[in-house]
Structure 1
Amino acid sequence: MLEIIVPATTANIGPGFDTLGLALNLYNKFYITEIENGLEITGCDDDYKNENNLIYTSMQYFYNKVKPDKIPTGVKIDICTNIPLGRGLGSSATCIIAGVIAANILSDSNLSKKEILNIATEIEGHPDNIAPALFGNMIVSLYENNEVYYNVLDIPDELIFCAIIPDFELSTSLARSVLPSEIPHKDGVYNISRVSLLISSLINKNFDLIKIACHDKLHQIYRSPLIENYNDIVSKLYNLESIGVFLSGSGPTIMSIVLNDNYTFSDSIKSFLLTLNNTWEIKILKCDKQGTKVNII
């Protein structure tokens, strides 16, 4: 049996639209076993216990692309989900990675992590969640000519990532549909300057610059109106000494960066969120620096 443990991710980090992603210490676990024949899936809603399951379709994509000599005639998939669905925390990326890695091992294909990254990105369409989920830490990535180019950025241990997760989903398709097909030149320059400042601030631990570096004009200004009380929550987070706030992926989770010596933050933001219409869950997380782990049990 394979145990595949894949971390959650938060993508974009404000200005790094489709380019930046960061792994978090919140995990989905997948237990995948070769059986004599057929398909068995447990641990998810009945709607996903079939051949349209993303883990299984990712396995099939691998087999069709790689064409290994050995392809299992049956597979059993047990899913232990801790990452909420449809909240902008990379849950689909964890399924894709688990499927591709399982297919690689069960077929004795022995592809490298870089090759797994490329195949998983083909399925997902972009590497901003795939790369950090696979490698850990924060990843700067791009996808060009069917090849992923990436660089790893080590996140300082002083930083805590507070995920503020609502009780409603926001579909990626809807979040994409509100984005403009063209942007003004000045907005492009605006984001280039912020993403450059963000990366350099993290490298040099200039934490006082992260707030301004998280500003964005490519996606957050269009997506935030889809999230009730977004501006109220962001304002409160900064009042509670967050050093950076951004929309996690396409949302609706709001991510706050705080220093690890901000001991009153968690209780204060929980109290505030209780005054709002929707129910919000708080997860206090650290950056995962290992990425996907595989155990044979």
Structure 2
Amino acid sequence: MEISVPATSANLGPGFDSLGLAVDLRNKVEFHPSKFFSVSIKGEGENNPRLKGNNLFIGIFNEHYTRLTKKKQNFKFTFYNQIPMSRGLGSSSAVIVSAVASAHEAAGIRVSKRRILNHALVYENHPDNITPAVMGGFNAATVEKNKVFSQKKHLPDYIKAVVIIPNKQMNTSRSRTVLPKSYSKDNAVYNLSHTALSVASFFNEDWEMLRLASHDRFHQKARMKMLPELFAVQKVAYESGALMSTLSGSGSTFFNMVYDEDAAMISNKLKQKFPEFSVKTLDFDNNGLIIER
């Protein structure tokens, strides 16, 4: 069996812990029953031996497989990883979603994407990354009574993502420590109104409006101060014509939405200004979790 999950960009400015979308950069796992347990990693993380012995995927997979089948079975797992780790592109969410889905497939139990999403919520208590990882596209999501409720928008192929990936990681837990303990009423209303306008802009495909709608007062500036070069990244992106330019998740990656016709130019400008960073032009992913039997 082969299961793949796309990278995601969450928050998208003001939509703290609630908005996210998927881009076509995938982690894939192939597995089958085996006499002996084994793990092989290719791509991102292949040079990190710790991942083979302390693997988040394996822990979640075994937990669900044992619960579903009431037995133990060895498997051979081969991971093909494209999503950079600890860079704000949803690498952890991809692992969680693929582990839950793989365990159900291995047990011969087919469940809906919504069910997989709600299982994933146990390990990632914010829905902004796991929802687009499962559903694909742009998603607005919330959690009520331990369940994810969301709405998806299919993203057209005439817009692209240009992501700039710094050579430094940002730990999500640590980045949350720099956020304010409380917010003023004015800032709360500011983010509520900009989040609402962002969602409306996505669903109405009013991409130009996102330049304004994606402004944030909750988290971006505090997190960007941990890597000040990101302020220059955002400035260059907007001056070059980006439709929106936001910190991807908690960083360090910066996400830019652009028109297809502008993608090469904006990408080249970012590469010229920030040669030490990696710049990728990606399609949006509307499929989310893919299971191939």
TM-score by length of 2: 0.93
Give the CA deviation at 1:33: 1.6
Q: Per the alignment, in what secondary structure is the counterpart of residue 142 of structure 1?
A: strand
Q: Structure 1 residues 71 and 141 mapped into 2: Cα distance closer, same or farther (>3 Å)?
A: farther
Between the aligned partners of 1:228 and 1:31, the Cα distance in structure 2 is 39
| Paired residues of 1:86 and 1:171 also in contact (CA < 8 A) | yes
Match of 2:75 in 1: 75
Q: Which residue of 1 aligns with 2:151?
A: 151
Q: Distance in 1 between matches of 2:127 and 2:64?
A: 17
CA distance in 2 between partners of 1:22 and 1:198 (Å): 12
Q: Is 1:161 equivalent to 2:161 in the alignment? A: yes
Mapped pair 1:142 → 2:139:
no
1:70–1:109 distance in 2 versus 1, CA, 3 Å: farther
Q: Which stretch shifts more, 248-257 or 126-135?
A: 126-135
Identity %: 33
**2:55 matched to which residue of 1?**
53
Check conservation: 1:62, 1:119, Cα contact below 8 A.
no
Q: Which amino acid aligns with 2:60?
A: S
Residues 126 and 61 of structure 1: CA distance in aligned 2, closer, same or farther (over 3 Å): farther
- For 1:123-142, what aligned pairs fall within 5 Å after superposition? 123-142=123-142
In the alignment, is the contact (CA less than 8 A) between 2:267 and 2:280 conserved in 1?
Answer: no
What secondary structure does 2:68 align onto? Answer: coil
Q: Equivalents in 2 of 1:273, 1:22: separation in Å? A: 25
Shift of 1:214: 0.9
What is the CA–CA distance in structure 2 between the aligned matches of 1:225 and 1:268, rounded to whole Å?
Answer: 23
Alignment check: 8 A CA contact 1:70 1:108 kept? no
Larger deviation: 251-260 or 67-76? 67-76
- The 5 Å alignment of 1:60-209 reads 60-63=62-65, 67-209=67-209
Counterpart code for 2:21:
L
> Quick one: distance in 2 between partners of 1:211 and 1:282?
21
- The count of residues paired between Structure 1 and Structure 2 equals 287
Residue 33 (1) aligns with residue 32 (2): yes
What secondary structure, in the 3-state scheme, does the structure 1 residue paired with 2:261 have?
coil
- Spell out, residue by residue over 1:97-136, the C-alpha distance to the aligned partner (whole angstroms, 9 max, x if none): 1111111011123332211111111112222111111111
Runs of 4+ in 1 over 6 A off after TM superposition: none
Distance in 1 between residues matched to 2:126 and 2:160, nearest whole Å: 26
Q: Which shifted more, 165-174 or 226-235?
A: 226-235
Verify the 8 A CA contact 1:88 1:251 in the aligned structure 2.
Answer: yes
How far apart in 2 are the matches of 1:102 and 1:231? 39
With over 3 angstroms needed to count, the CA separation of the structure-2 counterparts of 1:141 and 1:259, relative to structure 1, is same
Q: Give the conservation status (yes or no) of the 8 Å contact 1:156–1:202.
A: no
The letter of the residue matching 1:172 is T
Point out the more displaced range, 159-168 or 258-267. Answer: 258-267
**Paired position in structure 1 for 2:274:** 273
The residue aligned with 2:2 is: 3
Q: Which residue of 2 aligns with 1:219?
A: 219
Mapped partners of 1:73, 1:208: distance in 2:
52
CA gap 1:209/1:287 in 2 versus in 1, 3 angstroms: same
2-side partners of 1:156 and 1:68: how far apart? 38
SS of 1:122's partner is: coil
Report the residue type matching 1:20 in the other structure. Answer: L
Aligned to 1:19: 18
Quote the offset at 1:72 in angstroms: 4.0
SS in 1 for 2:123: helix
For the residues of structure 1 that align with 2:69 and 2:171, how far apart are their CA atoms? 38
Distance 1:19 1:150 in 2: 9
Alpha-carbon distance, 1:29 to partner = 1.0
Q: Aligned with 2:119: secondary structure?
A: helix
Are the aligned partners of 2:65 and 2:106 in contact in 1 as well (CA < 8 Å)?
Answer: no
State the one-letter code of the partner of 1:257.
M
Alignment of 1:285 with 2:282, yes or no, is yes
